[in-house]
Structure 1
Amino acid sequence: MANICVYLGSRQGSDPCFHEATVALGREIGTRGHGLVYGGARVGLMGALADAVLDAGGEVIGVMPDHLVEREMSHHGLTQLIRVADMHERKATMAAKADAFAALPGGIGTLEELFESWTWQYLGLHDKPIALLDTQRFFAPLLTFLDNLVGQGFLDARTRDALGSAPTPAALLDRLEQQLLPA
């Protein structure tokens, strides 16, 4: 069983397809015997993902800073909620508990967490796979931008290729599982 760390929105987004894909990913994680590591919230796509993993029999570890727990944003039905002092400790704890990373649609927090994990991989701090769930081509503009960085000489093609993407939850987990297998 691998723990998949998922970064995603604390909001639902404007298109119901994001919620549907999030729930489908949660079911896939749970039925494939994986665990979820995420930010610990009960709201938005975050809450929907945790609920779907739990409903599918999977384990869910939430990691949340005390100030957000105190604002009553934490999910109360998790397998484990780890309270930490701040956002820096949250990200480090999530990364330490993860075997792979995935990002779903979300806002600036999602992007910040994704880019930090990807940067840590680039710097050799971990060798865990990272991929995007590109529901309805949500990440297509970002991927085009990253390809432009390669073309302009600011990003190495191997580093760009390390950030994978998949159009469906099943394809995303297939990709991550393949990269997790021993060579």
Structure 2
Amino acid sequence: MMMLGTTPALLTFLIRLFVPESEKWEEEHKSGSTSHWVTTDLFGVLIGAIGPTMIITVWAYDKLDLPGGTTLPIPMAVKIPVTLVGLVIAIFGYTYPVVRYLQRGLVASGSLDKTAARRTIHLMLLGACLIGVALLGTWGSTQWAVKWAGEMTKNELQSREWTQIWLALGACTGTILAAMMGDWFGRR
């Protein structure tokens, strides 16, 4: 069932492989107006991934096993600052490519107005926070749905299995419908 969950990613891969870009995009690309992206900026994303790795690592262990059989507990006074530092690394790493893109766009246009660039970054971070709340809430409830269904029905009629099946089918269907709606309403 979990392998079926990869269907949307596989569909996306196949679409990107076999469906050509639009003519408008090709024209803009040839004119050079889309050239503000630089691949090396994506190293910021790679560095940004260190932040979540730090957060996961520090919360995954309650103690460190040192050589010689000694254990060292990891107190909350260490976990919280490491989490905050990891969050800062993630934010700066993930926003770095966008900041550089906006800076190059300002230079290319000859504009010195940085307010639009700042507003873009602020709105992007606000959007990330808002979607993060919805994502964590949805993800958290669906992770527990199978257990709750089993507890509520004492697993009669295979309630856990059916809950997992419907969750997977809903995720696949929703992802495919979202892609189709993107086509119907336009790419942007």
- Which of the five TM-score ranges fits, normalised by the shorter chain? under 0.3
More helix by share: 2
TM-score by length of 2: 0.25
TM-score by length of 1: 0.25
Larger radius of gyration: 2
